Amino acid sequence: MLVYRFGNEAEWIAAAVDELQSAAAAAQARGRSSLSLCLAGGLTPEVVYRAMAALPLTGLAVDLWLGDERAVPAGDVARNALMAARAFAACAWAPPPRLRPWPGTATEADASAAAARYEAELRAALGSAPSFDLVLLGLGADGHSASLFPATAPELARGVGGRLTAVTTSPLPPHTRMTMTQAAFARARRTVFLVKGADKLPALSKLEAGDTSIPASLLAGPGAIVMYLG
């Protein structure tokens, strides 16, 4: 794992945008006309997504998947899908990207069915062993990533039995979450953690050391990189 540290937000954003450009160039070099990206949720990456959306990216049909989602109705402001839609609203790509949101959940009890639907959609598009061109992940101060938290059962986090999605519980509201598992991320061609803030440094140290006591380490893989903005 490589950890890059930035003291300047513009440089941090530019480095992340370079990762998208590299993924797109690699796909086109292989003669492909499509690109699959998996996006981190939360507030940290929105400024990065806006910069990515401004790229003059052409000739690739891009699918934007979401690594996790809150179990709330489709129009709820807490949804990661709304953040992603906002960030890519004025996208310069031709053709425009297709956002693949998790189903909205009218009640928390709907989360399992919604996660199963998203897994079916993922399998239909990318197969039973997805290989995203680029996965962007966040890192919580507690070491969580996507919606895999320290208290998440290991079999759920790893996707035992090949499960690509799971329903988990967050210590912060909204408590019920839907997330991709390690099995969904394991074959990504490139994994990048976007990390910001001094409060993340203890978790970053554990991630860099490969400490499997934090869920983020399960998702890192040998070729992952971390972009830290201090």
Q: What is the pLDDT of residues 168-213, one digit of tens each?
A: 999 999 999 999 999 999 999 999 999 999 999 999 999 999 999 9
pTM of the model: 0.96
Decide if pLDDT at 108 tops 90.
no
Give the pLDDT score at 94. 97
With a cut of 90, say whether residue 228 has pLDDT above it. yes
Rounded to whole angstroms, how far apart are CA atoms 230 and 226? 12
- The residues, any chain, with a CB within 8 Å of residue 178's CB and separated by 6 or more, are 68, 69, 70, 71, 102, 105, 111, 114, 115, 118, 147, 165, 166, 167, 168
State the residue range of the domain holding 29.
2-229
Domain at 10, CATH number: 3.40.50.1360
Mean of the per-residue pLDDT values of the chain: 96
Cα distances (Å, whole numbers) of residue 18 to 4, 22, 37, 48, 134? 13, 6, 14, 11, 12
Find all residues with CB under 8 Å of 205, minimum gap 6, and list them: none
Contact predicate 168/179, CB 8 Å: yes
Rounded Cα–Cα distance for residues 163 and 27 (Å): 27
Q: How many structural domains are present in the chain?
A: 1
**Beta strand pairing call for 165-169 and 176-180:** antiparallel
Report residue 2's pLDDT band, with 50, 70 and 90 as the boundaries.
Answer: very high
Q: What is the pLDDT of residue 222?
A: 79
Per DSSP, the three-state class of 159 is coil
What is the pLDDT at residue 221? Answer: 82
What is the per-residue pLDDT for 109? 86
- The model's confidence at residue 41, banded by pLDDT at 50, 70 and 90, is very high
Question: What pLDDT, in 10s, does the model give residues 112-165?
Answer: 999 999 999 999 999 999 999 999 999 999 999 999 999 999 999 999 999 999
Token duo for residue 157: 């986090």
Higher pLDDT, 155 or 223: 155
